[in-house]
Amino acid sequence: MNSVLAAQTLLTAGDGGLDDHLSRYGRLPSLDGSQIVGLARDAELTGRGGGGFPMWRKLAAVAAAGTPAVVIANGAEGEPVSGKDRLLLTRKPHLVLDGLHLVALATGARAAHLYAPAALLPRLRESLAARGRAGLDKLPVTLTAAPDAFVSGEESAVASAIAGRGAVPADKRVRLVETGTLVQNVETLAHLALIARYGAGWFLSSGTFLATVSGAVARPSVVEARYGVPLGDLIGAAGGATENLRAVLVGGYHGGWVPADPALPVTREALAPFGAAPGAGVVVALPAHACGLVETAKITQYLAGQVAGQCGPCVNGLPRIAGTLADLAAGRPRPGLPGEAARLAALVTGRGACRHPDGTARLVLSAMRAFEADVAAHLNGRCLATGGRL
Amino acid sequence: MTRLHIDWTACDGRGLCTELLEEMLVEDEWGYPVSRDGTTEPVVPPPLEDAAKRAVDRCPMLALKLVRR
Ligand SMILES: Cc1cc2nc3c(=O)[nH]c(=O)nc-3n(C[C@H](O)[C@H](O)[C@H](O)COP(=O)(O)O)c2cc1C
Ligand code: SF4
Ligand code: SF4
């Protein structure tokens, strides 16, 4: 089962209703907390919100925190080029809510929350009401609107929004799990709901991930695949490239540029040499006629505009990185421009309350490697993508 | 291990700590502290523990904390 479309488990057609859900998947089996943690561990389920952290470790840490646990399903999807969490919440809300119910059991939580874009809340409210009528959840779920901003889905911003303080990241001297707060991406929770039904062994052989494929493809879409899928198959499932590709951005705006090599497997290991990771499954195909430096400068400009105005190195550093990239993209050469970009990237890394500077730095460093020839050409006033002078 | 944690949401970058703890911290171009060893939470070597405690106590924004991890 290595073909992309072989294992449509999350994305099978569905109207989002409870009847459809129950006839398709049946009720959750009854499991206790340690069984749930064990299933997540044995299935090697990792987070789908970007970090790829093993879910069971977070479950165990929150259960051991010694304070009444709070569990939060994170459907913010602040990443502009990602669409999989919205699609999942629309098509399979009950898998997400099953998963939220399971992590509440696993951690002994007294409160459960679903955090999602405001536009999705009315339908989700209906989903919750239907579950209530069917007597499914003992623990009520509170809905909270996620503001439309890049950092609003960062875990401490999520916890802060739930607590009514605004969706802004917080300092992490005390880690979130140590405070008894569990934040999991909605897709991670949906996988857990399937693992509870079909088992860890099933997930190891048939488990999937969701990818949002866009850019120069015929049918920009959300695709379901297994880790290890060749990059070319993911792009093929989105209708295929509409022209030759220059590079592919994997992992989203905090990800990295990789060569447009159809055989490149989408795994942590295979992407690591390019400074990329599967992350939240974002794949953007860059057409051959577009300049990777111009594209990276645009993204960096956007990311610099999304800083949450709190941490000096991020607030000062990201606009400087964006300015450096803009000069490079527009062929306004200053001596040492590429070196300056690399220096600033290293300077901001690890120096914020959240990893927004780290992710931005990762993108910029990957661009300097992937588009090395373009950098050299731009410094000489030429652009390889357009073939002309800058 | 004792480490120095900086709460970036509180730090105002006036650089008092980089004077009090110059063995561990330097100022970046905006005045914010950077650990000399490049780590996010630099280890405080035992001979510097007193100096580190002083920097923690004197930080006007209460942005510095010693953590054990
Ligand atoms: C700037 C920033 C933005 C983030 N935005 C999201 C998001 O929109 N949705 C999400 O699930 N995780 C997001 N994350 C990751 C979360 O902090 C957290 O790791 C994740 O929700 C945990 O769930 P998981 O382990 O199931 O992936 C973001 C992280 C950063 C640094
Ligand atoms: S690191 Fe940047 S984005 Fe993150 S909280 Fe601080 S200022 Fe906001
Ligand atoms: S003394 Fe405190 S507020 Fe001032 S620069 Fe150092 S950490 Fe920041």
| Residues A42-96 pLDDT 10s | 999 999 999 999 999 999 999 999 899 999 999 999 999 999 999 999 999 999 9
Give span(s): CATH 1.20.1440.230, chain A.
292-379
Contact A190, A96 (CB under 8 A): yes
Percent of all residues in chain A with a pLDDT value above 90, rounded to a whole number: 93
Please compute the mean of the pLDDT values over residues A89-116 and round it to a whole number: 97
**What pLDDT is stored for residue A5 in this prediction?**
41
Predicted pLDDT at A8: 60
Distance B23 CA to ligand 1 centre (A): 36
A352 contacts on B by Cβ (under 8 Å): 8
Query: What ligand has the least distance to the C-alpha of A76?
Result: 1
Q: What is the ipTM of this complex?
A: 0.97
Helices (H), ranges, A29-154: 33-42, 55-63, 84-91, 93-107, 121-133
Q: Which CATH architecture group holds A209-287?
A: Roll (3.10)
DSSP codes of every residue in B7-36: -TTT-----HHHHHTTTTEEE-TTS-EEET
Lowest mean pLDDT across A224-238, A244-258, A375-389, B10-24: A375-389
- CB-facing half-sphere around the CA of A65: CA atoms within 13 A: 24
Q: Report chain B's mean pLDDT, rounded to a whole number.
A: 97
Chosen for mutation from A314, A347, A358 (greatest number of chain B CBs closer than 10 Å) is A347
Q: What CATH number does domain A18-206 carry, 2.60.40.1190, 3.40.50.300, 3.40.50.11540, 3.40.50.2300?
A: 3.40.50.11540
Residue limits of CATH 3.10.20.600 in chain A: 209-287
Q: What is the DSSP letter of A265?
A: B
Residues 13-42 of B with CB under 8 A from A: 13, 28-32, 34, 38-40
Mean pLDDT in chain A?
Answer: 95
Cα(A273)–Cα(A290) distance, rounded to whole angstroms? Answer: 24
Q: Which domain holds residue B16?
A: 2-68
> What are the residue ranges of CATH 3.40.50.11540 in chain A?
18-206
- List residues near ligand 1 (CB under 6 A): A 47-51, 53, 74, 76-79, 150-151, 153-155, 183-185, 188, 354-356, 359
Q: Are A144 and A113 in contact (CB under 8 A)?
A: yes
| Interface contact A173-B7, CB threshold 8 A | yes
pLDDT tens-digit profile of B4-23? Answer: 999 999 999 998 999 999 99
pLDDT greater than 80 at residue A371: yes
Mean pLDDT of A4-14: 68
- A352:B7 CB<8 A: no
Structurally, chain B folds into a number of domains equal to 1
Stretch A1-23: mean pLDDT: 74
CA distance A318 to chain B (A): 13
Structure tokens at A129: 């009401």
How many angstroms does the Cα of residue A322 sit away from the middle of ligand 3?
26
Per-residue model confidence as pLDDT tens digits over B18-34: 999 999 999 999 999 99
Residue A13 or residue A29, greater confidence: A29
- Whether residues A351 and B32 touch (CB distance < 8 A) is answered with yes
Architecture category of domain A292-379 in CATH: Up-down Bundle (1.20)
| Pocket of ligand 2 from Cβ distances under 6 Å | A 151, 169, 307-311, 314-315, 352-354, 356-357; B 8
What is the C-alpha separation between A225 and A207, in angstroms, rounded? 8
Q: Which tens digits make up the pLDDT trace of A314-360?
A: 999 999 999 999 999 998 878 799 999 999 999 999 999 999 999 99
CATH number of the structural domain spanning residue B12? 3.30.70.20
pLDDT at position A13 over 90 = no
